[in-house]
Every structure is written in C-alpha cells, then in structure tokens.
Amino acid sequence: MLIVADKHIPYLLPRLRCFGEVQLLEPEQITRKAVEKADALIVRTRTRCDVDLLSGSNVRFIGTATIGYDHIDTIYCNRHNIVWTNAPGCNAAGVCQYVVNAVREYENSGLRISKSDKSTTIGIIGVGHVGRLVAQYYKEQGCRVLVNDPPVEQQQGSDYLSSFGKVVTLKELASEADIITVHTPLNNSGDYPTHYLINERLLSLTKQEALIINAARGGIVDEKALLKSGRAFVLDCWENEPELDVEVLQRSFLGTYHIAGYTKQGKQNATDMILFALGQFASGGQVDLSPIEKTINQHLSSYEPFDIKSISEQLKCSPKDFEKLRKAYVLR
C-alpha cells in the first residue's frame, strides 16, 4: 500500500509504515500527480479532496486527522467507492478549553460586569462532542445553559438533548444568552444548513453586550454581519481562511489562527483514530470508529488557562502570517 500523508500530522511515524510505503509531503505538495498512484491519503483541512485531486488516481481511502471534513467531497468519494473518515471528537477537550479561556478573557476585560455564575446564560449551538463538554463545564459552574441542535434532537430525542441544558429555538437562544458559542459542522445544504447560521437577522436579536464565539468552522458566522452588529466576537475559524478579512480580525475581541483544538492530546487522538480506521480498511473490514471513540479521554485538567490574548495579538500584528503562525504553534 502506498500512503501519501501530510507531514505536519504528528505521531504518525513509525506506526504508519506498518501499512506500507509512506510519502510525507507539505500540504501544497499533495497534488493530483503526487497522489496518482497512492492507495490512501492522510490529510488535514488544508487539502481539498475532490475530483481535481482524485480523478484517475488509485486512492481508495482518505483519512482526515480533523473533526471537520468539509474539505472532502464526500459525494464524489461515495460515488467512486473511496472510503473516507474524519476524527470526530478528537480535539473536543481542547476546543472547550479555548472557549472557556475566551470567556474568561472577556469577563476580565471589563466589557462584562458579571463573571460566569448563576447570572450568566450560556447559549450553545450544536451539541456534539464539543458542545456537550462546554455544556457540562458551564453547568458545573452554576450557569444557565441553553442548547439548540435540531439534528441531534431529531436523532436522539428531546430528552437526550435536554440533559445538556434547556432546549430552545435559535431565536430564543440568541435573545437570552450572554455568551453564544457555535459548535456545528459547516453544511451548505440539506435539512439543516449552517452556512451563515449566525447572520444579520439573528444578531439583531442578541443582547448588546453578548459575546459571539466561533471555534467550529469558517462560514457558519457571517463576518460582515458581525461587524455591522457591533457585538463582541471571538473567531478561531474564518471565511476564506487563511486569507482572512483584516478588518474583521482587527475588530475582533480575540482572533486566533485556527488553533482552538491544537493540543497534544487532540493531535494524538486524531492520529490514533485515523490509524485505527486505516487498519480496518487494510484488513477489509468496515470503518467504524465507535470502539476507539469510547476510549478517548476528553478532559484536560480543569481546562487550565493558556495565553489566548498573546496568540490573538500575534495574528493582529501579522495577519498575512496566518499559516506560518499556525505551523509554528506549540501544542499546549
């Protein structure tokens, strides 16, 4: 088996060599010519896996060491019998840690008078791996927690969803929450599209002092609408990333270079999950991550503080160095 892998995915070698020949490349080197004879690809979000990359290749397996998978043309892969998988929940604890630290910075800035206690209402849009941890953390802090996730409610039932907080409509969440944090995938179509889910209309319903956080995917939040709203916001994911809008960055309360989930634990989890899936594929079995998902430790110790403010200042000083800063970021 010939495997082409992004060289910036940690903890891959030497375990990956057990499956066959390995070529480690920079993301920009993973081209149509480079993958033509490859049987498997191990990538991150920087590699768009679509017809332009895959047509005429031998690729039959794609593993992305990330939660998000909108960089994979899943329809094309399904039609061409290419097995693909992401790493759901791999960095959930890290993203929760990021949200907690962003909220702490906001509370300590003086823009909000009260700190996270029984007087604070946290609105969580998307109650998957990350959203559940955020809900659990703030419930333990005594905050009022509101949740909104129609797909989960449809699949798991309202009783399941209500175990994480009060189930409300998107409008109710927007109007009642002091902190609004988004943890959905980016869907451009389907029954529950999330592109520009946070838009001008929804922002008009929010409190003037509300904080909006997007550490999910760029495009879920309409950045121009954020500017127009005058609300405080924290962005780790951006539209047109890494070519981000400098005005949006400079006016953000905190703006970081897509590192919310960049923890040693999260990276290890992602690599373990992709190698587990590759092993199942190589042995001819069905790719099923549920056994390994149950073993992933999601908790970082008390979601300890890290210097999120300095990370934001780095990017604001050098917005064109988004990719450079991201590559140089030391896993926490």
Which residues are tagged catalytic? 217, 241, 258
- Helix %, strand %, coil % for the chain, to 5? 40, 15, 45
Sheet containing 254-255: which strands, arranged edge to edge?
166-167, 144-148, 121-125, 179-182, 211-214, 232-235, 254-255
Q: Give yes or no for a contact between 258 and 314, defined as CB atoms under 8 angstroms apart.
A: no
Pairing of strands 83-85, 61-64: parallel
Cα radius of gyration rounded to whole Å, the chain: 20
**In whole angstroms, what is the distance from residue 59 CA to residue 10 CA?**
22
